[in-house]
Amino acid sequence: MLRLAYWCGQEQYDPYKLLEFATIAEVVGFDIIAVSDHFHPWSDKGGQSGFPWIIAALIAEKTKRVEVGTAVTTPLFRYHPAIVAQAFATLAYLYPGRIFLTLGTGHSMNETPLGFKWPEFKEKVERLEEAIEIIKLLWEKEFVTYIGNYYKLYKAKLYTKPKSKIPLYIATSNKYVARIAGKYADGILVNPRGLENYNEIIQSMERAAITSGRDPKKLKKLMEFKVSYDVDYEKALNSTLFWASTAIPRDKREKISDPRELESMVTKEEIEKIKRTWLITSDTDEIIKTLEQFLKLNFDIIFIHSSSPDEKKFLSVLGRDILPWMREFYELISKPVRVAID
């Protein structure tokens, strides 16, 4: 069954606006609310940096039925894995059946400002795997002792356990990280840039699941759809430029943690990349046509990450025109084809 998620970009909006958008998102028909998890925003101008777990708790309190969680939390440095486990166990105690967690290897910009040395890719992946092991052990076991290469626990116990299972997803566009999803997680989250090697990512996850004795058919496929809509195309485009730093090549931007420096590095090349990876449009039919392609890839959850200049207006458009169509179209393509035999 298709589930639809609204992405709260806490780097772009202050907590009051996020709470307003989230409550509207529930009313217009979203099933899930995701809160991004950053210490520094991607842009200095207009940037925000609310604490995402507090925002997630407030959203859960102010809504009634939607699932709430983060996309994406990095449990490597500023968050010790045990603290991540504790925080989300508490959320799942307070709001059972409504909390999820998405994990990833993260960005230097969120860790190096706190004095941590950002490691090479291999270490990040190893740290992520250890962190996931710790989080799951603390959720499920009593006194946990864990001796890893990076993290250690000595008879650690969460006394406030989650009241229900917490879906755990891994965000990545890398086949090696996808293996971790196959071993431990409930699914994988990709964004438009990850579609370039989407089949390879999914195959890597599924092979790892089979090797680990898990059923790959039970693993969810999640997609982040980036869009900016306005009847004035230039306004829609300008609103996405807040995210232009995300288009800087990873080997360059991972060396920078100051959003002011990231802004200064944006060139025409990055802006063109944003135009390719975000749907910037003044036509709702174009949104529907693009989503149709994603739905045909059989994603289980689609996150709509909007940078529209009038977000409340776009939420209304989503609820009126787009979300109902998505559900109807998904149901149509999911129905088995019946062939009449004379």
pLDDT-derived band at 195 (thresholds 50, 70, 90) equals confident
State mean pLDDT over 198-223.
97
Predicted confidence at residue 299, as pLDDT, reads: 95
- The pTM for the full model equals 0.95
Determine contact, residues 105/125, Cβ cutoff 8 Å. yes
State mean pLDDT over 253-257.
93
pLDDT-derived band at 191 (thresholds 50, 70, 90) equals confident
Q: Is 76 helix (H, G, I), strand (E, B) or coil?
A: coil
Token couple for 47: 């940037």
What CA–CA distances, in Å, run from 63 to 59, 66, 241?
6, 7, 31
What DSSP string describes 214-233?
Answer: --GGGSEEEEEEEEEE-SSH
pLDDT-derived band at 196 (thresholds 50, 70, 90) equals confident
Q: Note the pLDDT tens digit of each residue in 261-309.
A: 999 999 999 999 999 999 999 999 999 999 999 999 999 999 999 999 9
d(CA 213, CA 211): 5
Token couple for 326: 């998505």
Q: Is the pLDDT of residue 338 over 80?
A: no
